[in-house]
């Protein structure tokens, strides 16, 4: 019987004695029941909730970001000390609310990339994504004077448009990397797509399909909606092929250890696929040159003939590099759960080996192809395209860092110059099929190619803290940069030389 019920039965059974004010003896077992009930009524010890993993890193990242943001507004609006305190108080209150929401949902969300990670942090759904232009103006409305509010609105518009133009230019560079656009087509597409690309401000794009860890813009869908006159028939065919042949042409070459095919048989098959990819890229470049330079039929024929020899040479170079890697590393491949980047290749699970993705940009470095282009008078237009690609990527990196650092218009060209010097020659938009998280890979170039003392000449102390917080998201091991993801996974990037 429940001890509480037992107590009620005993008391009720002696109700007359109780009314007379006499003490009623209570049985030992009843007294124990009363004690148990009293113990149950005591408040339980408070449950200490375990804080989600990464909370301290997230706080550190946001504190650095918000300090840079507040410093930017102070410079733009010439805030007084009192105004700075009021604005900081409002931002801190909002930050506490958003952290509570994040903590409530953290255990429910299974994500590979945390919302405070580089690239992710300043996207609309990222940890700092709540600082939209509208939110900033709302926070400052009761603090700033009318003149200060006008200055802030103008500065926010300038910053927003600058970042947006850079993101659009990079999106066009990705399309150009696949379709070989003429200069007039690039200009036309910029006008057509500036308001059509979804999530443009986030700056995560894919041409057709790849594994993407963040909300992205699928550029192929936008191209299919363009007027027929926007692209040539060959370019539209490539848009279709890029989707239909994604599995065959756009995945990293994978070797299976102890599979049905021998290593040599698999390598031959992958080399043939690689040769075909280079051949298609050369044909596409020929079509682009024909449109850009108005080539004669003889010039087109010369380029078409050269595509066969060039594709064979590029595929042979890839096969040689793959063979050297296999000969060196297959004997070591029996180690359990080995994961590391060696040269151009990536070691993954013991049952499979992923070779390097064929870099189609190496086509332009092939001596035979370069001599052929020079003979057809195509060097100038090829260089113009290379200059556009480099400028677009450098501007894209500057825009992502601007989103983190809150640069002033005077700081932007200084940082852009450093980024350009930190990036390798031949820089262009990465093929979005062959890389995992190419945006992160690109960002490591300025983060680890620029020394903080170089940037400290024009970055404020709050901005330098943001820079350090970005670098702290990575680990450097030898010549590798490692970015740790959830579930024990990691991304490996080469350390800029």
Domain-located, residue 17: yes
9 & 97 share domain: no
Domain-located, residue 104: yes
Domain-located, residue 421: no
Q: Angle formed by the axes of helices 263-293 and 379-405, to 10°?
A: 100
Q: What is the pLDDT of residues 357-386, one digit of tens each?
A: 566 667 777 888 888 888 878 878 888 998
Residue that is written with structure tokens 């994604």 in the block: 246
10 & 82 share domain: no
Overall average pLDDT of the 346-351 stretch: 41
Contact between 410 and 129 under an 8 Å Cβ cutoff? The reply is: no
21 & 81 share domain: no
Domain-located, residue 228: no
Share of the chain above pLDDT 90, in %: 34
CA-to-CA separations, 135 to 72, 153, 179, 384, 418, in angstroms, rounded: 16, 12, 39, 41, 32
Residue at which a domain ends, from 97, 119, 151: 151
User: Token pair for residue 419?
Assistant: 């980024």
Residue 110's pLDDT band (cuts 50, 70, 90): confident
Q: Supply the range of the domain harboring residue 111.
A: 55-151
10 & 73 share domain: no
C-alpha span between 410 and 247 (Å, rounded): 46
Question: How many domains does the chain fold into?
Answer: 2
Task: Give residue 14's pLDDT.
Answer: 40
Domain-located, residue 135: yes
Neighbouring CB atoms inside 10 A of 153's CB total: 15
Residue 353's pLDDT band (cuts 50, 70, 90): low
Mean pLDDT, all residues of the chain:
79
Domain-located, residue 173: no
Q: What is the pLDDT of residues 230-264, one digit of tens each?
A: 888 878 877 877 666 554 444 555 566 666 777 78
With 0.85 as the threshold, say if the pTM is over it: no
Domain-located, residue 314: no
Q: Over 90: is that where the pLDDT of 73 sits? A: yes
Vertex 456, ends 450 and 459: CA angle to 5°? Answer: 105
Domain-located, residue 267: no
59 & 147 share domain: yes
Q: What is the pLDDT of residues 406-446, one digit of tens each?
A: 999 999 999 999 999 999 887 888 766 555 678 888 999 99
Neighbouring CB atoms inside 10 A of 398's CB total: 25
Overall average pLDDT of the 447-470 stretch: 94
Query: HSE on the CB side for 170, CA within 13 Å?
Result: 30
27 & 76 share domain: no
Neighbouring CB atoms inside 10 A of 461's CB total: 10
Residue at which a domain ends, from 151, 170, 186: 151
Residue at which a domain ends, from 129, 151, 173: 151
């Amino acid at each position: 019987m429940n001890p509480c019920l037992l107590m009620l039965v005993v008391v009720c059974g002696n109700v007359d004695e109780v009314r007379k004010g006499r003490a009623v003896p209570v049985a030992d077992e009843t007294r124990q029941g009363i004690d148990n009930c009293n113990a149950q009524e005591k408040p339980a010890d408070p449950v200490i909730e375990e804080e989600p993993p990464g909370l301290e890193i997230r706080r550190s990242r946001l504190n650095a970001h918000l300090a840079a943001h507040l410093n930017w507004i102070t410079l733009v609006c010439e805030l007084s000390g009192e105004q700075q305190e009021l604005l900081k108080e409002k931002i801190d209150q909002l930050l506490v609310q958003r952290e509570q929401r994040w903590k409530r949902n953290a255990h429910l969300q299974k994500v590979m990339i945390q919302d405070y990670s580089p690239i992710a942090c300043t996207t609309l759904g990222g940890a700092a994504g709540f600082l939209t232009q509208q939110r900033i103006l709302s926070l400052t409305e009761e603090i700033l004077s009318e003149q200060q509010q006008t200055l802030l609105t103008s500065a926010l518009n300038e910053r927003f448009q600058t970042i947006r133009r850079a993101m659009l230019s990079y999106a066009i560079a990705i399309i150009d990397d696949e379709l070989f656009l003429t200069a007039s087509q690039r200009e036309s597409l910029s006008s057509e797509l500036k308001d059509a690309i979804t999530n443009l401000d986030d700056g995560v794009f894919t041409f057709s399909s790849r594994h993407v860890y963040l909300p992205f813009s699928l550029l192929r869908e936008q191209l299919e909606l363009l007027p027929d006159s926007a692209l040539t028939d060959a370019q539209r065919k490539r848009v279709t092929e890029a989707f239909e042949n994604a599995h065959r042409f756009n995945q990293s070459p994978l070797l299976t250890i102890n599979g049905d095919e021998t290593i040599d048989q698999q390598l031959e098959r992958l080399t043939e696929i690689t040769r075909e990819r280079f051949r298609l890229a050369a044909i596409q470049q020929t079509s682009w040159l024909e449109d850009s330079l108005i080539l004669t039929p003889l010039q087109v024929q010369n380029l078409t003939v050269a595509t066969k020899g060039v594709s064979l040479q590029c595929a042979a170079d890839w096969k040689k590099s793959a063979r050297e890697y296999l000969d060196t590393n297959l004997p070591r491949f029996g180690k359990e759960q080995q994961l590391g980047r060696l040269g151009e290749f990536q070691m993954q699970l013991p049952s499979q080996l992923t070779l390097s993705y064929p870099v189609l940009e190496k086509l332009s470095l092939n001596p035979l192809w370069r001599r052929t282009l020079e003979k057809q008078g195509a060097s100038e237009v090829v260089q113009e395209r290379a200059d556009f690609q480099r400028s677009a990527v450098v501007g894209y990196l500057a825009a992502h860092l601007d989103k983190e650092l809150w640069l002033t218009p005077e700081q932007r060209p200084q940082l852009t110059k450093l980024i350009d010097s930190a990036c390798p020659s031949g820089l262009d938009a990465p093929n979005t099929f062959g890389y995992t998280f190419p945006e992160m890979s690109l960002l490591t170039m300025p983060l680890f190619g620029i020394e903080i003392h170089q940037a400290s000449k024009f970055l404020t102390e709050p901005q330098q803290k943001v820079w350090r917080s970005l670098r702290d998201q990575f680990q450097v091991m030898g010549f590798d940069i490692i970015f740790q993801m959830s579930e024990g996974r990691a991304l490996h990037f080469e350390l800029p030389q």
